[in-house]
């Protein structure tokens, strides 16, 4: 599903809004592709500058460092995913159906497209989240970054899922914990399926099995 939307990003993520210029958009688009190809550890602004045929200094005008670029990209995906959740459950009244719809969204891999009009490819952003998302907050600067509200889109998405959980079972004591666990597990189990199969009962590309597992996890907890 392709949705033509633009999100207001936290201005503490960048020094200059990359969406406002072709250079900035190229930095974001090519940076995403290169991090997915090389891995975050091997990715550098120097390598990105070579790929863009520009100077490192021009990249640093937009982002303070590569971690800020990573957080920007991951944050964009959480914004997009929350939008999809809202879009998909908007006309659903049954909270159980809402939860199942959310779980399907979390487990279904986005369609791989080659649209030149996309600011950020959803498929590429999904791959980045699967591999690198935890690196946005597993840092010594997490408290400072949290005070700067860099993780607000992730927390907003989790809160939206938590609200549906409470709608299904208002007496359940741990809706926030279950919502964040569901978010983390949906991506972690997908990663395990593809790279560390001994840590998952689902086989590679077995989305149905993963969906069933997450539904069992959620509804077993909520029925207690």
| pLDDT per position as a tens digit, 127-154 | 999 999 999 999 999 999 999 999 999 9
Helix (H, G, I), strand (E, B) or coil at 213: helix
Q: Note the pLDDT of residue 1.
A: 45
| pLDDT per position as a tens digit, 22-36 | 999 999 999 999 999
Q: Note the pLDDT of residue 115.
A: 55
| pLDDT per position as a tens digit, 91-126 | 999 999 999 999 999 999 888 875 555 789 999 999
**Nearest-5° Cα angle at 172, 168 to 176:** 90
Q: Note the pLDDT of residue 204.
A: 76
Q: Note the pLDDT of residue 117.
A: 52
Continuous H helices in the chain: 22-38, 45-52, 56-60, 66-89, 95-107, 122-132, 142-147, 152-168, 175-195, 207-222
| pLDDT per position as a tens digit, 39-51 | 999 999 999 999 9
| pLDDT per position as a tens digit, 177-215 | 999 999 999 999 999 999 999 999 988 778 899 999 999
In this predicted structure, the answer to whether residue 4 has a pLDDT above a threshold of 60 is: no
Please state the pTM of the whole predicted model: 0.92
Task: Extract the tokens encoding 39.
Answer: 């891995």
Indicate if the alpha-carbon torsion angle 134, 135, 139, 143 is positive or negative.
negative
What is the pLDDT of the chain when averaged over all its residues? Answer: 93
How far apart, in whole angstroms, are the C-alpha atoms of residue 19 and residue 27? 10
| pLDDT per position as a tens digit, 59-101 | 999 999 999 999 999 999 999 999 999 999 999 999 999 999 9
């Amino acid at each position: 599903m392709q949705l033509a939307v633009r999100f207001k990003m936290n201005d503490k993520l960048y020094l200059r809004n990359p969406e406002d210029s072709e250079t900035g958009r190229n930095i974001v688009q090519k940076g995403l592709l290169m991090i997915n190809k090389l891995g975050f550890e091997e990715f550098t602004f120097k390598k990105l500058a070579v790929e863009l045929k520009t100077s490192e200094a021009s990249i640093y005008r937009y982002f303070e460092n590569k971690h800020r670029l990573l957080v920007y990209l991951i944050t964009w995906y959480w914004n997009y995913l929350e939008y999809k959740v809202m879009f998909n459950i908007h006309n659903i009244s049954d909270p159980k159906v809402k939860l199942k719809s959310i779980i399907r969204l979390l487990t279904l891999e986005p369609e791989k497209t080659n649209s030149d009009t996309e600011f950020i490819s959803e498929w590429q952003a999904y791959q980045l989240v699967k591999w690198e998302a935890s690196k946005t907050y597993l840092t010594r600067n997490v408290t400072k970054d949290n005070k700067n509200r860099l993780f607000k889109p992730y927390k907003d998405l989790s809160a939206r899922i938590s609200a549906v959980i409470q709608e299904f079972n208002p007496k359940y004591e741990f809706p926030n914990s279950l919502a964040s666990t569901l978010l983390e597990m949906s991506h972690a189990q997908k990663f395990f399926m593809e790279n560390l199969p001994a840590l998952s009962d689902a086989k590679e590309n077995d989305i149905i099995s993963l969906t069933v597992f997450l539904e069992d996890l959620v509804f077993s907890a909520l029925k207690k």
